[in-house]
Structure 1
Amino acid sequence: MKFSSRISLCLLLTAFVIGSCSKQNLYIAQDYQKDYKYADAITFYKKAVENNPSKEAVKGLAECYRILRDYPLAEVWYGKAYSMDNRNPEVVYQYAMMLKANGKYDEAISFFNAYKKVQPTDSLYANLQIKGCNMAAKWMEEPLDYELANRDDINSPYSEFGMQQAKENGETIYLLSTNRPGRVTEDFLLANENKDPYFEMLAVRLNDINKADQMYQYRVGENFPYHVATPSFSANYDTVFYTRTPISKERLSKEKLNQLEIYYSVKVDNQWSNPIPFPFNNEAFSTGHPFLTKDGKSLYFISDIPGGMGGFDIYVSQKKDGLWQRPENLGMKINTREDEFYPVFSNGYLYFSSAGLMGMGGLDIYKSLKIAGEWSAPENLQVPFNSPQDDFAFFQTPGSEGKKGFISSNRIEGRGKDDIYSFNYIDPLPPVFLVNVKGYNNGEPITGTTNAQFTIFKKGNPADIAQQYVDVYGNSYYIVEQGENYEVKANVPGYFQEAQDLSYDHLQVSDTMLIKKDLPKQYGYEATLPFNLRKIAVGTEYTINNIYFDFNSAKIRKSAEVELIQLANLLLANKGFKVEIGSHCDARGSDEYNMILSQRRAKSVMNFLILKGVNKNRLSYQGYGETQILNECVNGVDCTDEQHEENRRTTFKIVE
């Protein structure tokens, strides 16, 4: 009994100790988080959840991963937080946002709907996020005509972002911001909450094949020991604005470690001046990500000035009489309750990144046009510029008309935490026609004919059959490409097996446009091709087109040989029946003479077919003279040569 009591007491003491340690680790983690030292906070949050996880510890761990933009782990821990407290609006909302940032759109939609139930007053914003999920799935299936490439010649396992063009001694270089190892100061562990080196500017020279062949630290003014990033140059590259953290030791308190400030330097005698503070820097808030317009009159930047729309908003300051004016918030069309970053003004458009507009997840890149003093509704740049993760720092190469440039992203497939990506416009392949062949006889559709009873192949090469496309409904189409000539061959039971020419230009576009998933950068127009079939039936007679004879002659014209060769091929491909070749004359000349002439002409056609390989036992001929005139040009009626030529014709009739 005493032994059992002693065990119970030990277990109670152990639980008390573990509980005390968990609480102590939680308090330490929360203090680190308040000090913006998220990596340290994560260490202690992990200890706090090891043995006795609390809602506060799990939620705090999820928040730290989210702030550090580790979306996969943030999703895991928000999921755990949701399982512990599924009525907490912030937990439900952030879990949905992390699912969205990881491209799990169907799951995200489910949790945005759950968020509307626990926070019905925010349903409008939840619906915006749901719409973003739906549009993201569509954009991923239908990417724009741009190729995106990770610049592994520039990127490292750390962060590289914000590619900008500059000039050095007349030579074009590119500047980016990076925190790859290289500058660790005595205050490093104190000032950097994520244990990464400080950000600095890196210059890149690209060679003739657009690859980096030289990179070096780019300094502006004094050798600053802390963060220096996001440069923006004037049109003549003699002024540069950039973002820094506070300078003095007195300002390196924990509250100021993440504060941003804008500075600029001027180049004099090919040397950059020491930093000059932007007049609207303030210890009470941050300013950063400056962008100077090419006319030097406007400076766009971000700030968390109190009274804004959300976290960081985009502002603009105008320069008048050499002085920067009080900044103006760009308003609720641009700024949201979330964060907006990296403004760039180019070719009349404001490009920026936002986490609060309809997007794919994380930060997306948008553009907006200013018309009559008002910003247009921001337009999402879609795929490939945007992804479920963070996409930002849009830059167009000058003179490229938007066809090439750079963006930055922390996509999961990237090399580092943030990577530079180059983009290039790809001229889309010309549209194709998706052809569905339908059989007709005498202008009426033949019931039961299918696309499978016709073959489309490259002209002159029956073995080179056109590619086929089957849509989601199982409908089969032949793909007809621009610049190619084709033939269509019919194989419909009860009708002649014959072929006709088909060209891209002759197809008619229907109202339905089908987007192809299996042909990158291409789409197709659906087109129905009517194919006139000739029925195989005793007594059926067909006119052989363009088989005309000169007046008073039975000699076959050279122009008629093409049609007769096609007739020979038709008879060689369709055996098992006999045909009569019929010849008809016009009304000029005596009836007797025309009967004899038509006999000679019919025999000429039959002999031509025999020479082309048709068995003579299948052939017979009959002249009809002028007994079957097709128009009013009978004896005694004046007609033109063209009208008389219509009556000089050749037919074939199935007789057995």
Structure 2
Amino acid sequence: MQNKRLQKANEAYNQFAFVEAGKLYKRIANKGNASANVYARLGDSYYYNSNYLEALKWYAKLMETRGDIAPEYYFRYAQTLKTAEKYSEAATILKKYYLKTGKRDMSDSWLPENFMSKIKEQSGRYTLNNVTINSSSSEFGAAFWGEDKLLYATSKNSSSVLTQKNSWDNRSYFNIYSATITPDGGLVKPKILKGDVNSKFHHSTPVITKDGKTMYFTGSNYMAKKLGRSKKLEINYLKIYKAHYIDNQWKNIEELPYPVNSDGFSSGHPALSPDDKELYFVSDRNNEMGNSDIYVGSITEADGISDIRLLGSEINTLGRETYPFIDASGTLYFSSNGHPGLGGLDVFAAAKDEEGIYKVVNLGDGVNSAYDDFAYGINRENQKGYFSSNREGNDDLYGFTEKSPVNFSFDIKPTISGTMKDSITGAPIAGVTIEVYDSEFNKITSYLTDNEGKYSFSIEPFQKHTLVYKKVGLIEETVSIPMLQQLEKRVISPDLYDEMEINVANVRVRLNEGDDLTKKLKLEPIYFDYEGFQIRESSKEELDKIVKLLLARPNISLRVNSHTDSRGRDEFNMRLSKQRAAATVEYIVKAGVAKERVTGEGFGETMLINHCINGVKCSEKDHELNRRSEFIIIFNK
């Protein structure tokens, strides 16, 4: 009878049916003659369902046995001790783990005197907000969708067909819901997400691209709505899928190919970098059952994921790393039970230092507790966000407001610097103003170059900026800055030219009042058709060069002088030349030059430039030379 019960318990355990396995192993253990293997698997059955206090009880009994205990059980036992706030004892057990495995001993980092002060430094930064959409079932996850929507997963049943339960924890399968975010950070109007992203099996932890058109999410291994199984064991692995937003629904579900997904391991909990160029995700490949690490891959133009790499040991530990999230600044957040913390899963933040090494900090109390805290996400525009925790029993959503940013002890912002010099002499230019604008061209701030022409300042990472360099007497220079990563350094030293100098065919030319830009810029003459005043298409390119010069030199104005040939009556030609001047001025003003900077005057046939006067027979080409416009420089006072 005992052997049959053990066989049945082992079968349930091997199928990841941990609720059933736990019940069967517990009956055996309560008989008083359980083996070390029964205690180990009984502890695991609770450990994998985050019931750490119950797992602690059975791991403690395992440690009392005289058998050869596998090293990983020392690590798990230490983790459960930590959740019971027995930090010193956890460090002692962890030291045994390192001794057995021969790995570098890091148990001292788990001593409360070595990590509690660091956690205290980050504590007190959050105000928690009430979330009313939690139910008696589980709710978790935080994926922002547009300006006022949050996606999350819940195991509550939405219809009679969604009643199947999974054997791992005997709960209903998760589906993805949306909720409306209120101005104070509350969540209202929960409803199941439309489209093909939900079925009777698990769907959770979505993330949506910035354009709102593509979703990555975690789902059970299913094809044609039938639950997939691995070939070795009857195990349902998790995979990452992609959906497209079409006609207000999520459709065209695609499974990401290997090496993201496989029928031999689980992958899930996708997250996107701020520029949507990288996909972070969690996988238990090459790992003990129950543990997982964070990976990242590049999203290619061919719509695939390449260059998949495991994040370094400063992120991934011997424990479980999961639920990555990257905020708008590029800071990585994740949950782990392998880093020193307050409980089971704690939420951590990570940013790379100048050497490219991640520095990891615990987010402190409020978000973290003695229980599992995970699935953290924050909106950097209002510092409000959400995380999940089982501190009240079920997995529930919690809202928060971050009162001050996490402190990495170094500035994570990218830096822009440069040296402004005279384009001819190379002498430094002091007092150049550098105006900084955001992606909507709203001015953020401004800086000045010092006596050596140097400047340096920080900007927000992963945001587009525009810089405008200006000083009286010099031509303004505008530089567009793409998204820069954290701690990226960019040197920008644009050439600034004297406003009264221009570069023509690589030759510096000085502008003087009264000069004709047609000659200074070596333009093709601006000609008109006979008896016409419409701007020729062939002349627009030349006029655009004049417009560009005026836009870059606000202290220069222009007088347009228009002329006709000698043919026709004098009064007609005078009127026609004024029309040509007006048409030319109108073109320049429509191109963006202030109208008070451009005037026009018509001279008819009074200022011919060749011998083609009345009564003299000339070729059409000779007459065309007189049908011209001149662009006379006027300096603004």
Deviations 1:181-227 (A, max 9, x none): 346759935x4332100011121123454433311111342652211
The corresponding residue for 2:142 is 163
Deviations 1:302-349 (A, max 9, x none): 122338999422121212333322412222222222221111122121
The corresponding residue for 1:39 is 19
Q: Where in structure 2 are the equivalents of 1:324-473 lying within 5 Å?
A: 324=304, 325-346=306-327, 347-370=329-352, 374-400=356-382, 403-411=383-391, 414=392, 416-426=393-403
Deviations 1:265-322 (A, max 9, x none): 1112333222111123221222211112342211111122338999422121212333
How far apart are the structure 2 equivalents of 1:109 and 1:353? 20
Deviates more, 1:51-60 or 1:172-181: 51-60
Deviations 1:231-265 (A, max 9, x none): 10111211111010111337246946441111111
Aligned with 1:275: secondary structure? strand
How far apart are the structure 2 equivalents of 1:135 and 1:41? 38
Paired residue type of 1:297:
K
Q: After TM superposition, give the deviation of residue 62 of structure 1 in Å.
A: 1.2
How far apart are the structure 1 equivalents of 2:187 and 2:404? 25
2:171 counterpart of 1:154:
no
The corresponding residue for 2:206 is 231
How far apart are the structure 2 equivalents of 1:348 and 1:82? 43
> Aligned in 2, Cα 1:328/1:426: closer, same or farther, shift over 3 Å?
closer
- The one of 59, 62, 76 equivalent to 1:78 is 59
The corresponding residue for 1:553 is none
The corresponding residue for 2:83 is 101
> Aligned in 2, Cα 1:371/1:84: closer, same or farther, shift over 3 Å?
closer
2:127/2:402 contact within 8 Å kept? no
The corresponding residue for 2:228 is 251
> Aligned in 2, Cα 1:71/1:343: closer, same or farther, shift over 3 Å?
same
The corresponding residue for 1:242 is 217
Identity, % of aligned positions: 30
Aligned with 2:294: secondary structure? strand
How far apart are the structure 2 equivalents of 1:35 and 1:409? 27
How far apart are the structure 1 equivalents of 2:59 and 2:289? 26
Paired residue type of 1:146:
R
2:155 counterpart of 1:179:
yes
> Aligned in 2, Cα 1:282/1:109: closer, same or farther, shift over 3 Å?
closer
Deviates more, 1:70-79 or 1:379-388: 379-388
> Aligned in 2, Cα 1:250/1:140: closer, same or farther, shift over 3 Å?
closer
Q: After TM superposition, give the deviation of residue 381 of structure 1 in Å.
A: 1.8
The corresponding residue for 2:250 is 272
> Aligned in 2, Cα 1:340/1:96: closer, same or farther, shift over 3 Å?
closer
- The one of 166, 182, 200 equivalent to 2:175 is 200
> Aligned in 2, Cα 1:295/1:95: closer, same or farther, shift over 3 Å?
closer
The corresponding residue for 2:298 is 318
TM-score of the two chains, using structure 2 as the length reference: 0.57
Deviations 1:419-469 (A, max 9, x none): 2222223479xxxxxxxxxxxxxxxxxxxxxxxxxxxxxxxxxxxxxxxxx
Q: After TM superposition, give the deviation of residue 139 of structure 1 in Å.
A: 5.8
1:139/1:383 contact within 8 Å kept? no
Aligned with 1:69: secondary structure? coil
Paired residue type of 1:205:
T
Consecutive unaligned residues of structure 2, counting only runs of 5 or more, are 406-637
Q: Where in structure 2 are the equivalents of 1:279-294 lying within 5 Å?
A: 279-280=257-258, 281-294=261-274
Consecutive unaligned residues of structure 1, counting only runs of 5 or more, are 1-20, 429-656
- The one of 32, 38, 41 equivalent to 1:57 is 38
Select the structure of larger CA radius of gyration: 1
The corresponding residue for 1:134 is 113
How far apart are the structure 2 equivalents of 1:186 and 1:216? 15
The corresponding residue for 2:504 is none
Paired residue type of 1:214:
K
The corresponding residue for 2:123 is 144
> Aligned in 2, Cα 1:151/1:64: closer, same or farther, shift over 3 Å?
farther
Aligned with 2:27: secondary structure? helix
Aligned with 1:75: secondary structure? helix
1:135/1:360 contact within 8 Å kept? no
2:149/2:180 contact within 8 Å kept? yes
2:3 counterpart of 1:23:
yes
1:159/1:179 contact within 8 Å kept? yes
Q: After TM superposition, give the deviation of residue 93 of structure 1 in Å.
A: 3.7
1:334/1:378 contact within 8 Å kept? yes
How far apart are the structure 1 equivalents of 2:188 and 2:337? 35
> Aligned in 2, Cα 1:158/1:302: closer, same or farther, shift over 3 Å?
same
2:221/2:229 contact within 8 Å kept? yes
2:200 counterpart of 1:219:
no
TM-score of the two chains, using structure 1 as the length reference: 0.55
Deviates more, 1:191-200 or 1:86-95: 86-95
1:105/1:137 contact within 8 Å kept? no
Paired residue type of 1:405:
G
Aligned with 2:364: secondary structure? coil
> Aligned in 2, Cα 1:294/1:427: closer, same or farther, shift over 3 Å?
closer
How far apart are the structure 2 equivalents of 1:275 and 1:217? 17
How far apart are the structure 2 equivalents of 1:140 and 1:315? 26
How far apart are the structure 1 equivalents of 2:82 and 2:153? 27
Paired residue type of 1:226:
F
Structure with the higher fraction of residues in helix conformation: 1
2:273/2:330 contact within 8 Å kept? no
Paired residue type of 1:345:
I
